Each structure stands twice: as C-alpha cells, then as structure tokens.
Amino acid sequence: MGRRIAVVLVSWLALAGLAWGADHQTYIRPIQQSIPVAGLTQVLVQNLVGPVTIQTQDTDTVQVEILIHAGGPDDTFARTLAQQLNFQIENVNGQLRVVGQYPLDHFRDYGYPKMKSVMWIHGTDSTVYDGQKVFIRSVGSKKAIELWAEVRVTLPASLGLVIRNTYGDVELRGGSGPTATGSLDGFTEVGDFTVYRPRWTDLKLESDYGKVEFTDGLGVAHDIHLNTDVGGTYIDLPPGATGKIVAHKDLGFLHNNVTDGKFTKDADGNSVLLLGDGHGPVVHVEMSVGSLHLQKVGDAN
C-alpha cells in the first residue's frame, strides 16, 4: 500500500509541476510514545532532515515526540505525503532506537525551510542517508518534496545518548538533578549545537557545518570533545569556573573574555588555557575554520 501511494505522489508531483505559490499547503503529523527506562542503557536518535531537541529529567520513562512536517500544492497532497515518513522506535539489546525511515525509494530530494545560507544564498547539500544519496534543498525547489521531522526526546541523564542528525540544529537541555553518569555522542552534518547545563559526564559533539555553543556553563561534564569543520565554538562560563581548555584550529582566533589568562602552546602544538586552578572539566576543541569564544554568562555573542 505504501509503495502504491508513493507512486501516486510521484505522478501527482509531475502533474502539479511541484507547484509553489499562494495555494501551498502544509500539514503536521504527530507521533508520541512513552518507553520505560528499565532495561535501557542508551538512546539512539537518527534523522535526515529537521531539528532535534533533547531534555534530561529525573524520570523513569523516555518520552518521544515527533512532528512530521509535509507540504505540497494542496491539503490532500500534504497529508498523504506526511504518511510516507515514519519512525522506527524499538529496544534493541538495551538501546532504544528512534530512527527516521524516509521514502528514499521514491524521493531523493527533500526541501527544508531552515536551510543554512552563505551570504543569504541557499545552496543544495548532498549527503548519504541509510545508504542512499540524498539532496537537501530549499523549500520551493522544483526538484524537492517538503518532508522533514522535528524530534523531541526527554530522558534521564543516566542513559547514554547517540545523535546522528544529517541536516538540522540540535538543542540539548539539562539543568538540575542527581549526578549523572551517562555519555553523549552527537553529530549533525549541517546544523548548530546549543547546550544548556548538560547532565552527561562525557560529551562528544561534532558539526561539519555549524557552531557549537554552551549557553550556561559546562554542567556536570568532565571530559568534553568539540569538533567543527566550518563553524565557531562559544562557551559561556559562570563566575569562578575552573578547568582546562585545549584548542586546535587551522583558521580562526582564540578569544578569552573570561579571565586574564593567556593561551600557551603544549608539546603537541595545541593552545592551552587554565581556568582558575585548572582542576575541573577538560574541553578539547578542534576547529578547521572557526574561532573559539570564551565569555561570561550573559554576555552577547
């Protein structure tokens, strides 16, 4: 049935010429599920297009909320298209997998309304998802269907977390609660990471095109690895913050607006800055093109 509907959509798109104008309609299909934490050790979130938001809480369930966005020449088309994107949510040997299953057999071009731009020009990004070559284009492109998903997950910080987002921003929100022991491994090919008081002890964040920003300190984290190919790193620290910054960059600058300390070179050529007595979290920053900005909480970027 799903394959037949997809074929009908392809034919419909050809007839409609991917019409875009005053009669353009959108539709949002929600998915909600609550999964007990018992027996879980890790959560995997995988999505092709759209933002991911993670909230940690002292809870005995993992709450998954997904909003599937679709658009087209009329309401019927948008509603039908929304049914073509599904998420597999299952426990595999203690790993809760939340994986977007896009209709790649019929559509390889996806329109997204929040495309990254260079000099206000929206480009086309090619990538590989689930073994298939895919193109992410601006909404309104005659080659693309408008189909993407917002993924929101609430979980305890005691669980490990793996994020594999291809195109879209990632927001990580922690806060108060019991001491956490989990780890976070996050990747987005194109998108920004925004982190608020993380509750994981070990963090690894990587964006090929986008910035990484900590908006209110480093939370309970001890070991942090940040990697951006094209994009800066912003770390907002509260008064009295201690720890060590180990940074490497190919093209960019190192800005320290938190202390009077200076970066020094270590034996490996990294730039090292001690905060306070140097005891505390160690932040490893690797940037190809981008600058590091250390600033006080509340200072504007």
pLDDT tens for 109-121 read 999 998 876 444 4
Angstrom CA distances, 250 to 85, 226, 247, 286, 288, stand at 40, 15, 10, 9, 5
C-beta separation of 135 from 15 below 8 A: no
In a domain, 91, yes or no: yes
**Residue 141: predicted pLDDT:** 86
In a domain, 222, yes or no: no
Torsion of CA 271, 276, 280, 281, to 10 degrees: -40
Average pLDDT for the chain: 90
pTM (two decimals): 0.90
Percent of the chain at pLDDT exceeding 90 = 81
C-beta separation of 296 from 216 below 8 A: no
pLDDT in tens, 136-145: 998 888 899 9
C-beta separation of 298 from 277 below 8 A: no
In a domain, 287, yes or no: no
What average pLDDT does this structure show over 163-167? 96
What average pLDDT does this structure show over 21-29? 84
What average pLDDT does this structure show over 238-242? 93
**Residue 301: predicted pLDDT:** 58
What secondary structure letter does DSSP report for 38?
A: T
Note down the domain range covering 204: 2-210
Percent of the chain at pLDDT exceeding 70 = 88
**To which H or E segment does residue 78 belong?**
helix 75-82
Count of domains for the chain: 1
Say which range, 13-27, 46-60, 138-152, has the weakest mean pLDDT: 13-27
- Chain CA centroid to CA 8, Å: 32
- Paired with 264 in beta bridges are 272
In a domain, 23, yes or no: yes
In a domain, 270, yes or no: no
- List of residues 6+ apart from 93 with CB closer than 8 A: none
In a domain, 63, yes or no: yes
Q: Is the pLDDT of residue 99 over 80?
A: yes
